[in-house]
Copies of this chain bind each other. A is one copy, B any other.
Amino acid sequence: MTLEEAIAQRWDTRTKPQGSLGRLETLAADYCRTKNHPLPRLEAIGLYLFAADHGITEEAISLYPSAVTGQMLDNFRAGGAAVNVLAGLHQIQLHIVDAGVGRGTHNFARQPAMESDRLDAALQAGRMQAREAASLYDAVGIGEMGIGNTTSAAAILAALAGRSGSEVAGPGTGLSPDQVAHKAAVIDRALALHSLQRTHPKEILRCVGGLEIAQMTGFLLEASELRLPVMLDGFITTAAALLAQAMHPPSRAVMLFAHRSAEPAHQRMLQMLDAQPLLELDLRLGEGTGAILGLSLLRAAVLLYRDMASFTSASVSEAGPIH
């Protein structure tokens, strides 16, 4: 029996009409495929939250001062942020990764965001985090914090998809339409400065990326090697997913998509990844909050797949020709 046959047989012998658990059935099947196992375990779950500062905040593209990134790092450590509340509720272990707070990127409207060796170090650091994650957890989520990083994520999307600033810039934490237009102009300026349209993904990441985005990209590339399922969060984590897919297309197989963000260009990213997210709750916070809700659905799906009784074991009659 092939893996696909084993998955279909198990779902179809559980005590429910065939297919009636909808997306939860396909979600558990995706998990089995990633694990290459007909009845994989899903117990320990972790969330890796990558934080970094962004030089692009000099261009006045966020409502929040750059210092908020570090302040929120303290808030994560003290347990007061949204992600702490959700991780506690769903028994998901939170790992806070300082990917460059206080020593963030350069202002990419004026110069490349980072040097080549810094990019390589960030990619490698992300790979190390994934190796740790695979030793501790059956599945993980990733999230991020970095004032200014929707501008970086939007610039990455524009460069990868050959789009203009106005097609990718959104309100982020709550910009007005005029402020969004300014953000779009900053992105267009950077795309021209670095000659980024449709160039190599690693070069895009070096020129307009962020250190948390680079670490998440490395994390996904390594997770792909390790067959570790990774639940993506929103707009910024999905920019890392786009980069990982562009660098190594098979990495798409370990990615799960939690939700469609309220940030408008997230939809375009999801299409480029052929991804149907599980939730649509107008979230636009980041931190991994959406990823945790997605992981909670993943846990439910796998638990149903593993723990439901079969028609035989529960002595329930199966569907048959209508009599």
Contact = CB atoms under 8 A, between A and B. Distances in A.
A19 interface: yes
Contact of A71 (B90, B300, B316): B316
Most chain B CB inside 10 Å of its own CB: which residue of A72, A281, A303, A307: A281
Interface string A84-96: 0110011000000
A82 B308 contact: yes
A99 to B, nearest CB: 19
A20 B72 contact: no
A22 B262 contact: yes
Interface stretch (A44-52, A60-68, A102-110, A206-214): A60-68
Contact of A322 (B21, B60, B86, B90): B60
B72 A15 contact: yes
Given A65-B320, A74-B314, A16 B303 contact: no
Contact of A23 (B278, B282, B299): B282
Interface in A253-290: 262, 278-285, 289
A133 B63 CA distance: 45
B314 A78 contact: yes
**Size class of A's contact patch?**
35 or more
A289 B15 contact: no
Contact of A319 (B63, B74, B82): B63
Interface of A: 14-24, 60-65, 67-68, 71-72, 74-75, 78, 80-82, 85-86, 89-90, 173-174, 179, 262, 278-285, 289, 293, 296-297, 299-300, 303-304, 307-309, 313-320, 322-323
8 contacts: A15-B75, A15-B82, A16-B82, A16-B285, A19-B174, A64-B318, A68-B316, A81-B309
